[in-house]
C-alpha cells in the first residue's frame, strides 16, 4: 500500500515559486482572482450547514484544516472570519512563507510541513479544505482516504478542482498556460484532472456524501470568477461526513 501521496515534482515546482504567493500580480495572480469566490462559497456553506449566526466572525470556534495551504491564501481569510485554522503543505518553502505572512498580520494560524497521511494529530476537524490540490497529488483515492480520517462526523470537506474534459484541456492548459500565460507552463497535467462522478464515488467509500456541487467560471469581460451551472472546467463541491 502506498504510504505517501506527495508528488515530488509538484512540490519542487511550487517550492521554486513560493516567494510569489502574496504578490497579486505574480505567478499566483489567477488564485488571487479566484480567492473571493472561494472564500464566500466556503463561508456561506459553513454558516448554512452548521446553522451559525451571521456576524463579523461567523466561523468562531470552527476548526479548519487547510490541506495544501501554500502561502496561506485561504488560511488567513478563514482565520480572520474567526476560525481556528491549521494549515499543512508538503513544501517547506510554502510553510515558511505562510508562517511569516501570518506573523506579520498577527494571525494565530498553526502551520506544519506535512501531507494528510503523515500529519500527526489527535484532532478531528469540523472543516477540511481541499482546494486546487487533488490534481497535484499521487494516488487521489489514498489521499482522500487520509483526509477523511481527519474529519469529524457531520464535518464538511470542500474540494475544488478541474474536471477531466476536452474543454478543460483546451481552457485550463492550452488557454491558461500557453496562450494567456496566466500560469507557468506545466502547472497542470490533464491526466490528473478528476471528474465529479469519480470524486463522488471515491469519497462515498470514506463515508462522505455530496451536499453541493457547483461549476466555477471566469468572465473575461468582467475579469472575475463566479459560480455557474457549467462544471465542465472548474468545479467546487461540498461533502458531509456521515
pLDDT tens digits for 40-67?
A: 999 999 999 999 999 999 999 999 999 9
Q: In whole angstroms, what is the distance from residue 65 CA to residue 146 CA?
A: 13
Name the grid cell of 35: 480567492
**Confidence at residue 23, expressed as pLDDT on a 0 to 100 scale:** 93
100-142 residue pLDDT tens: 999 999 999 999 999 999 999 999 999 999 999 999 898 999 9
Domains along the sequence of the chain with CATH: 8-241 (3.40.50.150)
Check residue 82 and give its pLDDT: 98
Q: What is the DSSP string of 135-179?
A: GGSS-HHHHHHHHHTTEEEEEEEEEEEE--SHHHIIIIIIIIIII
Least confident piece of the model among 160-164, 184-188, 200-204: 184-188
Q: pTM of the predicted model, to two decimals? A: 0.91
Amino acid at each position: 500500500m502506498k504510504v505517501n501521496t506527495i508528488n515530488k515534482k509538484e512540490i519542487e515546482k511550487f517550492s521554486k515559486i513560493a516567494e510569489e504567493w502574496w504578490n497579486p500580480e505574480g505567478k499566483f495572480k489567477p488564485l488571487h482572482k479566484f480567492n473571493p469566490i472561494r472564500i464566500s462559497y466556503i463561508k456561506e456553506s459553513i454558516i448554512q450547514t452548521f446553522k451559525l449566526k451571521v456576524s463579523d466572525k461567523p466561523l468562531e470556534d470552527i476548526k479548519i484544516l487547510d490541506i495544501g495551504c501554500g502561502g496561506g491564501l485561504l488560511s488567513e481569510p478563514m482565520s480572520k472570519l474567526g476560525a481556528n485554522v491549521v494549515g499543512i503543505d508538503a513544501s517547506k518553502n510554502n510553510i515558511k512563507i505562510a508562517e511569516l505572512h501570518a506573523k506579520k498580520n498577527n494571525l494565530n494560524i498553526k502551520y506544519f510541513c506535512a501531507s494528510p497521511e503523515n500529519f500527526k494529530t489527535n484532532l478531528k476537524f469540523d472543516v477540511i479544505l481541499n482546494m486546487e490540490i487533488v490534481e497535484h497529488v499521487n494516488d487521489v483515492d489514498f489521499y482522500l482516504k487520509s483526509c477523511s480520517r481527519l474529519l469529524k462526523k457531520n464535518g464538511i470537506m470542500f474540494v475544488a478542482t478541474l474536471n477531466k474534459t476536452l474543454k478543460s484541456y483546451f481552457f485550463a492548459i492550452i488557454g491558461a498556460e500557453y496562450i494567456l500565460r496566466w500560469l507557468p507552463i506545466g502547472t497542470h497535467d490533464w491526466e490528473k484532472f478528476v471528474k465529479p462522478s469519480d470524486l463522488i464515488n471515491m469519497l462515498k467509500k470514506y463515508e462522505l456524501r455530496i451536499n453541493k456541487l457547483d461549476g466555477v467560471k471566469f468572465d473575461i469581460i468582467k475579469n472575475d470568477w463566479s459560480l455557474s451551472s457549467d462544471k465542465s472546467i472548474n468545479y467546487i463541491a461540498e461533502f458531509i461526513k456521515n
